[in-house]
Structure formats: C-alpha cells, structure tokens
Amino acid sequence: MSWQWPTPFVIDIDVRPAHIDGLGHVNNVVYVGWLEDCAWRHSQSLGLGLDEYRRLDRAMAVLRHEIDYLASARLGERLQMGTWIVESHRGLKMTRRFQLLRPADGATLLTAQTTFACIELSSGRPRRMPEAFVERYGRALIDV
C-alpha cells in the first residue's frame, strides 16, 4: 500500500449495502460523506470537535471539493482513507488532501482535495481562524 505523502491520518471503511447504487458500486455521493467523516475525525483527534468550534464561535466550512474517481469500490471491501492538511492561507483558508486505498491490492480508488474557509458560527461570515485553530491545524500541516 502506498500513501501519496507520509503519516496520513487514516480511517477504516467497510463498504456496506447502503453505499451501493444501481450500478453495483459505491455511489459518488457516499465518497463525499467519507471525506467529511475523515476530516472530522482528524479534527477531533487534534482537539477541534464541535464543542470546541461552538466555544470559539468558529468553524471550518467547505468551499470546494475536487474529486478524482480512479476505480470503483464494491460491497464487502475494506478500505482506508487518509488525509493531510497541505495548506493554510493567512488564517482564513485551509486545504486538505485525501486518498482512498483498497489494502487488498494497494489500489488508489480516489484522490481529492477540499478547501475550507473559517467562518464565525453566530453570523456565518468569514473570519480569521482563532489561535487554537492555527496552532492545532498547524501541527498537522505538511509540505507537499
């Protein structure tokens, strides 16, 4: 198995019947949910869960997803999704990359990039990241 960059944050995924569409493979919308799950779990591991977001009145909101679907996932497969924080822009934006692997054969099924903007929860307006975001997300930032 080959990750694009070292030391990803990784989640395990089991492909279940609810993930499968009429064409017999995982539906594209399901992959977006897996991206969100992976990003949230990584944020939580850094100490930035919903409670901390609410306390700070800030959140990282999706601005853009870019997804390359490279191969299909099928019912019963076990997958791993990794994520990396690769950019942080002056405390306003952050970019994550993702890679979905099938350990059984080492195939990369998907690569993706998501750009997030920091918003103030109470107003929904863009705001600079609080120091806790800069510090905790900054800990996970890698050079690509």
List C-alpha distances in Å: 119 to 57, 62, 73. Answer: 8, 10, 34
At residue 1, the 3 state secondary structure works out as coil
Q: Are 94 and 115 in contact (CB under 8 A)?
A: yes
For the chain, list the domains and their CATH numbers.
9-126+133-139 (3.10.129.10)
- pLDDT of 9 over the 90 cut: yes
pTM over 0.85: yes
Say what the pLDDT of residue 91 is: 86
Q: Are 101 and 79 in contact (CB under 8 A)?
A: yes
Say what the pLDDT of residue 89 is: 83
For residue 125, how far is the Cα from the chain centroid? 22
What average pLDDT does range 37-47 have in this prediction?
A: 97
Separation CA 125–CA 111 (nearest Å): 29
**pLDDT per residue over 70-111, tens digit each?**
999 999 999 999 999 999 987 899 999 999 999 999 999 999
Separation CA 128–CA 58 (nearest Å): 9
- pLDDT of 18 over the 90 cut: yes
- pLDDT of 142 over the 90 cut: yes
Separation CA 71–CA 58 (nearest Å): 36
Geometric angle at alpha carbon 32, from 138 and 83, rounded to 5°: 30
Q: pLDDT above 70 covers what percent of the chain?
A: 99
